[in-house]
Amino acid sequence: MRNKIKDLLNAEHPESDITVHGWVRSKRDSKNFTFLELNDGSCLKNLQAIADEDIGTYDVLKDINTGASVEIKGDLIESPGKGQKWELKAKAVALVGGADQETYPLQKKRHSDEFLRQIAHLRPRTNKYGAIFRIRSEASFAVHQFFRERGFHYVHTPIITGSDCEGAGQMFRVTTLEDTKKPVAEDFFGKAAYLTVSGQLDAESYACALGSVYTFGPTFRAENSNTPRHAAEFWMIEPEMAFADIHDNMTLAEEFVKYLIWFLMENCKEDLELFFNFVDKELEAKLTNMLTNDFERVEYREAVKILENSGEKFEYPVGFGVDLQTEHERYLTEKHFKKPVFVYNYPKSIKPFYMRQNDDGETVAAMDLLVPSVGELIGGSQREERLDVLDSAIEKMGLSMEEYGWYAELRKYGTVPHAGFGLGFERLLMFVTGVTNIRDVIPFARTPKNLEF
């Protein structure tokens, strides 16, 4: 059994006859000793291993360089060096896999994010990206734990779908036809099929049976956007609750975001410190602010008035019926309220068909959670539970009742008020780490003209 470096660095006492596997971060030769800095991915810090010329496998060290994988057996002893409690005194060293020093791209120096995106298969070996993806792993666990503790059921919704939840039409088509001009009736499913943009509609049907459900999986948008905030493939967390309204929705969203931040600050302290110290010096204060303050709630009309009266010169004009842009969202969160803000009751003209229409005839019970630095983190709504109103909305949007008949039928048999939202997982990770490009918080980014690795 191999020992994890994370456990060894946190050991209470010396240990004998341990085995460590890892990758060499650096190598330093002395007259009669060789020092190796090892990392096995279990934590940010390295474990120093010392091999002296008396061990029987000392000669193998001449073939071990930065990037090589090794197995070292020895004893964990107290380290006389500063800044480290333990070190590994080697009894045997074995080279598992060598690394060509002429071509190995990760040497002991700073590399730019742009360079590392070109070697996405190797960048997890760096401190920054190792930390990012450990945080991503812990955040994934926290998502499931949050909903489990609240009695939600995890539902796997389809990745291949025939429905466009958002009505935007920016979907990737899935086909087995070499000639895509052939009738879709000849295709695998006998109709047009796409990669899903959201699991929401499917999740609603399960919320109307199981009460509270959530999905957590990949979603896709065929949007030709090369911004730091958009990707063609990303992960979404989408809860749906029966017997809930827009205010219940905002309450759950606030609890959820605070829980994830709290969980990561408790369980990823070492990795987060890297981002506090080297990415954004104000990041820790921003996260603490999220935990200690109630999120603001403001209606869309009021938000527009605040923006119109701000005195700011926005690139995009503000007015009723206009969707808020990132610059508007950041003004509200960073300058006006100085904390996260729910904006709700948006004009129905800019929102999808499924959102519940308000009594004013102009707005729907939609809500967005805006956070500093990132802008929109969550989008959601109370869903339209009235059959006649939903039918009318589907018709006005020019959608096929044959396509959405099953969805409308949920309102025919035991309809209930229900609500839900979607949280972009990568955007949450961007906010928590201070990383400004979505390509750096997902293992292998899928963006226009980029399908490598």
Q: In sequence order, what DSSP letters do the residues of 149-163 get, joined into one string?
A: HTT-EE----SEES-
Report the range of poorest mean pLDDT among 152-166, 237-251, 401-415, 432-446. Answer: 152-166
Given this model, what pLDDT does residue 351 score? 94
**What per-residue confidence (pLDDT) applies to 109?**
82
Residue 112 pLDDT more than 80? yes
Q: CB-side exposure of 175: number of CA atoms within 13 Å?
A: 16
Instruction: Compute and round to an integer the Cα radius of gyration of the chain.
Output: 26
Residues 133, 18 share a domain: no
Element of type H or E holding 420:
strand 418-424
What is residue 152's predicted lDDT score, i.e. its pLDDT?
98
Arithmetic mean of pLDDT, 281-309: 96
Residue 166's pLDDT is what?
Answer: 61
Is 193 domain-assigned?
Answer: yes
Residue 401: the pLDDT is: 87
**How does DSSP assign 33-82, residue by residue?**
EEEEEEE-SSSSS-EEEEEETTSTTGGGGGG--TT-EEEEEEEEEE--ST
The residue with tokens 């800044």 is 83
Query: What range defines the domain where residue 62 resides?
Result: 5-109
For residue 225, is it within any domain? yes
Q: Residue 175's pLDDT is what?
A: 95
DSSP percent split of the chain into helix, strand, coil, nearest 5:
35, 25, 40
Whether residue 448 lies inside any domain: the answer is no
CATH number of the domain encompassing residue 93: 2.40.50.140
Do 276 and 355 fall into the same domain? yes
In a domain, 451, yes or no: no
Q: What is the DSSP letter of 3?
A: P
With respect to residue 26, please indicate whether it lies within any of the assigned structural domains. yes
Would the pLDDT of 101 be above 60?
yes
What pLDDT was estimated at residue 167? 57
Considering the domain architecture, whether residues 223 and 102 belong to the same structural domain is answered as: no
Q: Which of 109, 139, 167 is the last residue of a domain?
A: 109
Global pTM value? 0.95
Q: Are residues 253 and 382 in the same domain?
A: yes
The angle, 0 to 180 degrees and rounded to 10, between the axes of the packed helices 246-267 and 425-433 is: 50
Same domain for 245 and 321, yes or no, is: yes
In a domain, 278, yes or no: yes
d(C-alpha 344, C-alpha 349), whole Å: 14
- Rounded Cα gap, residues 383 and 305, in angstroms: 26
Number of domains comprising the chain: 2
User: Is residue 452 domain-resident?
Assistant: no
Residue 117 forms part of a structural domain = no
Domain end call among 84, 109, 134: 109
44 and 164 both lie in a single domain? no
| Mean per-residue pLDDT over the chain, rounded | 95
Cα 143 to its chain centre, rounded Å, is 11
Q: 3-class SS at 132?
A: helix
